[in-house]
Structure 1
Amino acid sequence: MRPGGRGDTRGQVAIPGGRFAMGDHFGEGYAADGEHPVHPVTLSPFGLDATTVTNAAFATFVKDTGYVTDAERWGSSAVFHLAFAGDRADVLTSVDGAGWWLGVRGACWRRPEGPGTSVGDRANHPVVHVSWNDAQAYAAWAGKRLPTEAEWEYAARGGLEGARFPWGDELRRGGRWPLNIWQGRFPTHNTVEDGYLTTAPVKSYRPNGYGLWQMVGNVWEWCSDWFSPRTYRRETYPHAPPADPAGPEEGESRVMRGGSYLCHESYCYRYRVAARSSNTPDSSSGNLGFRCATTVTAPTGTS
């Protein structure tokens, strides 16, 4: 069976089912993100990729299927301004209120900083410039699916109940950076103390207690759920399932989890395991990727 092919679960971690307290235990989240209230969730066992999907794995998918991503079809995607070193004529737009994002002609998963760039030396970096639609297409090809938001948070916690990060409550570990986020003054100066201005290879830091690498920082990760800031409020969704929740039945944007190399406490403190964000299903950017999940089915004849 070829790596990355349909039904291949190599590289996945078996996550035990269980009950956990989902949400922001420290009162640090943004009100508009809806990280409250903390509430009990019960999950069935599932499988989750040990890392985010890499450029190499995505290239195999594209070669096998001829798939064209949303960014390629649109002809542009969002690139962080300090990572762009191309022809200014290729900058189509900047984002109002977020001038560090440039809409760059030709930016896509193959050319993450636009024309003249390549993933040739980044085979083991996370694929970026992939929309939710693209992630869904890859997951279907691989015989997998995107994780639910609840599955993602449970897995990211790595068995630590109520912790702020996958390794505990303190950001630094022995004075060292255990994740790829922004250091310095955002968005003009990054001291690169963690070693990377943009993406890091998918196994650059220690895995969490479940053996999952870089569940926070590096790149945002798509989840299957529609996003709502009211998802956790039982008065809003009184009939939400008590186990294996899958989020609202409809919405305009999809959940993203984990934060990215651009997150900084001064403006985007979303590299905590409880943090939530969202984007429209056709959106893409240079800090947005995904990992896949699988449903665990009981063997025939068991009860």
Structure 2
Amino acid sequence: MEDSLRENPHYRREIEAIALVESCFPEKFGVPRQAGIAPSAEGIIRFLPPYNHPHYIEGIEHYSHLWLTFGFHQNQWNGKAKVRPQRLGGNERMGVFATRSSFRPNGLGLSAVKLESVDYQAMTLTVSGLDLIDGTPIYCIKPYIPFADAIMSATSTFAVDPPQKWPLLWSCDAKTAVIKENSSSEESTIPESTIPESTTSKSATTSMTQGQLYSLIEEVVGQNPIPQFHQDYARIYGVSIAGFNIRFRHIPWENLDSLNGVVDATTLSEMQQRAALMNRKIEYSESDKIPESCIVILEVASESTN
């Protein structure tokens, strides 16, 4: 029976990309683990020939959200049936089909994104809430239909709550760098010259305002992109977002005093008060849901000047 199924041409099919993603994420590290976690993460879906004709997307503007079927093109499945989900600390294993791991047979992924705009002339879609890296191949696009796709009675005993958001602090230098890269006006945009020529994500980031860049960095770093089994309080990590290199590290609550002179005094004082409140909660209940540290953003630098 299995042999006859494998010989059936309908069970083996080659597919080709209909579009490519131009994203603010040039590499895997830092990409949100689910779509919608970083609402400020915008990208462009650029259709490829012969699918770059307006007839293919006529009417798509009637929908607020879309389903993207894509390929994990920078991963290769190792043939193993079990993976280590981040939700379990990266140490326990589950069956690959019981997770959303990017290492899976056929290497296909599914993301629901918000449709921001449609350009029939350029044959592009601008979307937000993106969780895909630059150059990701798109194999199919379908509209999100609320009455059919939103299952209000759905349950999960594994991923019950949204991902934890970590408390963030900005160093004075990092805040100044974001302001310097843009004028104080929210209407101005980041100069195109700050985006590296080597990436195709320019069009996805050149219209970003200072506020949008600030929000994007907070949304990405605040989800704690560091693998759970690599947490190291002494280490400084770097992530590339929208043509900028962001350097950050964890600071245990008891070491907040080490940030004197690095972080604005008022902001640091407020975080210390918050830490004291968290410590009281840790003594009594739900300590596993309270982060053991905060994240401090140390530096924001344009990659074109590095």
TM-score for the superposition, normalised by structure 2: 0.22
**Greater share of helix residues, 1 or 2?**
2
**Greater share of strand residues, 1 or 2?**
2
TM-score for the superposition, normalised by structure 1: 0.22
